Structure 1
């Protein structure tokens, strides 16, 4: 424990206190010797970084609970199906940089439940760089992260329905085509329809009324 405290730059009593609060996992024991590893050190550094950003120990404890209740990255990815999306690995403090005060335990739990986030040891993995950047941009424009996540849950359901529709079409009429050849066509149809719908709804109050 003394070596861990020294490496993290905190007093030994702080390490003991964090253990008592459940912020640190118990060490591996061999007889009377307690062994701490790089995961304990990473957790101490994460706690220090979050405290510097204004989080309370109670909030950090809630974040730790949410992280540990999340699905592991291997569970989310399953059999490592191919994807066009780019995974983003984040420390908890890096996630806080993206969403600032909106990176609450409640929102983190929702993101884990939706599948936007998964755990990978002491770190997090966001399932899509594009979704992460778009979510962060919406939050910085004043949309609460809870509302972004609620919308994401609805979008997920609609996207799954669209994917089911196009997959059925392709399997029925182009059974010999490679999925990679037809996937861009399905995406183009959805993007064009969404663009037209946004033109209608976001432009409803601008210019002359349309029939």
Structure 2
């Protein structure tokens, strides 16, 4: 434990306190010997970084619980499935920087539930660079992250319905067509219709 504490720049007493609070996982034991590894050191550095950003130990404990209940990155991303999105690997402290003041246990649990975030060891992986950037921009504009997630749920419902509509239309009327042509056609229609819908909404004031 002393080697771990020295590497993290904290005292053995602090490591023991974090362990008792459930902030770091238990060590691997061989008889009476406890082995700490790079995973424990990474967690201690994350705790230090989050404390520097104003998080409390209680808040960090809640985040750790949500983090550890998240789905593995392979499960969320569905490895091997085609996608145009670029996943983004983030440390917990980098995520806190993206959404300053909004990374709560509740919001983290929601992001994991929706599949926007997945766990990969001590890191998090966001499924889409575009969605990450847009979400962060909305938060900077003053929209609470919880409200962003509420809107995202509705958008996903409509997006799933649109995908089903386009797929059914293509299968019904152009069965021999390469299904890969569906994506650019559907995206063009949705982009144009959404643009015109925003025009109509903005004209209303």
Please give the TM-score of this superposition, normalised by the length of structure 2. 0.97
**Residue in structure 1 matched with residue 191 of structure 2 by the alignment:** 191
Q: CA RMSD in A?
A: 1.1
**Residue in structure 1 matched with residue 34 of structure 2 by the alignment:** 34
**Residue in structure 1 matched with residue 54 of structure 2 by the alignment:** 54
Shift of 1:3: 0.9
Distance 2:33 2:179 in 1: 56
Q: 1:157 aligned to 2:118?
A: no
CA offsets per residue over residues 20-78 of structure 1, 9 Å max, x none? 00011111111221111111110000000000000000000000011111111111123
CA offsets per residue over residues 168-196 of structure 1, 9 Å max, x none? 11222233333333310110001111111
**Residue in structure 1 matched with residue 93 of structure 2 by the alignment:** 93
**Residue in structure 2 matched with residue 209 of structure 1 by the alignment:** none
* Structure 1 gap ranges (5+): 206-211
**Residue in structure 2 matched with residue 106 of structure 1 by the alignment:** 106
**Residue in structure 1 matched with residue 13 of structure 2 by the alignment:** 13
Shift of 1:79: 4.4
Distance 2:43 2:178 in 1: 45
**Residue in structure 2 matched with residue 208 of structure 1 by the alignment:** none
Distance 2:188 2:15 in 1: 54
- What SS class does the counterpart of residue 13 from structure 2 fall into? helix
**Residue in structure 1 matched with residue 139 of structure 2 by the alignment:** 139
- What SS class does the counterpart of residue 71 from structure 2 fall into? coil
Shift of 1:202: 2.1
- What SS class does the counterpart of residue 177 from structure 2 fall into? coil
* Structure 2 gap ranges (5+): none
Distance 2:83 2:105 in 1: 28
Contact 2:111–2:117 (CA under 8 A) maintained in structure 1: yes
